[in-house]
Amino acid sequence: MRNGLRPSANARNSTHLKIDPRVVLTSQILELSQLELENAINTELMENPALEKLEDFEEAISLEEIYRAVAPCELKPSGGDHELRRSLPNDSEQDVDWLDLASSDDSLWDHLLAQLRITLPERMTPLMVYLVGSINDRGYLTCTVEEAALDCGASLEDAETVLMALKNCEPAGVGACDLRECLILQLRDALTDAEKLARVMLRRNWDDLVARNTRAIQRSYGLPESLVQEAFDVILSLNPFPGEGFISNAAAGSNRDKPFSTKPDVVIIMDQAGFIVEVPGPNQICLRVNPAYEKRRKEVGQKLADAAEKRHLTEFCDRAHRFLDALTQRRIQLARIGRYLVEFQSGFVRTGESMFLVPLTRTQMAKDLGVHESTISRATNGKFVQLVTGDVVSFDLFFKPALRVQKMIEEILATENPDSPFSDERIAKMLESRGVKVARRTVNKYRDRSKMLSSRMRKAS
């Protein structure tokens, strides 16, 4: 070009965009797994003198320590603490049920499913699995019948049928939504006058029961005081937490105490208040910028000082702040993804059953969360999430349909009769009944990928 309009090489080079180092660091930290993050923090602590670790936060406070401080009554012995229960004062007239002391390998959920499969048709299996998977450790139902019907693609009538059958299962009281219903369910087979009166009192005189107002109940029914007191004693003898009677379940206790071969990057748990999403591992709370560095930086900024010292303080203090900000952003993004999965994949999160997985892509998640797709990729690649059941699964399971089908095939084969194994064609039909339509050769491919033998070889083995 003429007339001095040709851009020089220096001008062209000056148009390069400068990338904010905070953006680069945030992306790098977000991409790290639990173990890699711990290594990155240790490296940064060694290289950056302006960053320090707070020793008080090295060990997290356990849930038991919190309860002991603010709610000691919550530390009652569970159904599994048999030696402690036996050592507590007890009326001599009360007989000890030997079943309470017998060990069992079945969990509460296995026990309930076994009962439901006998009484209900096979087509209701998804509803059975969903509702049983929504029972918490204490035996209470944590979802509504409408949620179960919607997530399973079933009718409300079928969901109510399964729920009614669940409430008729043993142990009595399981499947209730609250304490009142739990106690009523335990008196469904009331025989004596005291038991029948106790059931009526639970239904009609709940407020008087809570206030222990025996006189008001006695006046309302015109009954002798001895009978009313006997009904009170019946209610007090009921179990408010029927699910805790299972030793294996009580031993499992909290899913967070279970040892995992893979550390989860997101933990989803459920209590009486609903879902809780946690991001375990190191975080910005246990780190801080060295106060001495911050103080000296302010002093140097207010007066003429050595340029090298000023550069040193500025560089490492800014670097420490960027690192802490990146840790905060990582935790926020992972927590948002966990809450999104709770909302979008609630059926799978509750039960761990692959049949409840809803088709999902990283693009869709990124659009719904208002972030770039690369952010979702960095936050989920190579990472794991712990479900309410305690199972730890890869994030890839939510985004790759092939993994979902492969997982469902594994679950089907795990329940087959060894003497009469399912053929690939039969597995394809079973998948179709669960809403996944695949060809027989596709089943064969996924089975080979999981290194599972053919039906003939499984039978022979």
Q: What is the pLDDT of residues 110-140, one digit of tens each?
A: 888 888 888 888 888 888 888 888 888 788 8
pLDDT at 336: 93
Judge if 259 and 394 occupy the same domain: yes
Note whether 182 and 240 are within 8 A (CB). yes
Q: Does residue 39 sit within a domain?
A: no
Mean pLDDT to the nearest integer, 27-49: 87
List the one residue out of 246, 273, 244, 291 whose CA is nearest residue 49. 291
Judge if 445 and 427 occupy the same domain: yes
Q: How far is CA 444 from the centre of its chain?
A: 33
Judge if 258 and 395 occupy the same domain: yes
Question: How far apart are the C-alpha atoms of 39 and 335, rounded to whole Å?
Answer: 21
**8-state DSSP, 421:** P
The total number of structural domains that make up the chain: 3
Judge if 274 and 390 occupy the same domain: yes
The domain boundary residue, chosen from 399, 434, 450: 399
Judge if 395 and 405 occupy the same domain: no
Residue 70 above 70 pLDDT? no
Quick check: helix, strand or coil at residue 278?
Answer: strand
Note whether 159 and 132 are within 8 A (CB). no
Q: Does residue 26 sit within a domain?
A: no
Q: Does residue 33 sit within a domain?
A: no
Judge if 152 and 280 occupy the same domain: no
Judge if 183 and 295 occupy the same domain: no
Q: Does residue 86 sit within a domain?
A: no
The predicted-structure confidence for 365-416, as pLDDT tens digits, reads as follows 999 999 998 899 889 988 899 998 888 888 888 887 676 777 778 778 777 7
Q: Does residue 383 sit within a domain?
A: yes
Give the domain range for residue 204: 106-243
Judge if 151 and 114 occupy the same domain: yes
Note whether 331 and 286 are within 8 A (CB). no
Residue 84 above 80 pLDDT? no
Residue 309 above 50 pLDDT? yes
The domain boundary residue, chosen from 399, 426, 448: 399
Judge if 452 and 334 occupy the same domain: no
Tell me the pLDDT band of 306, cut-offs 50, 70 and 90. Answer: confident
Q: Does residue 282 sit within a domain?
A: yes
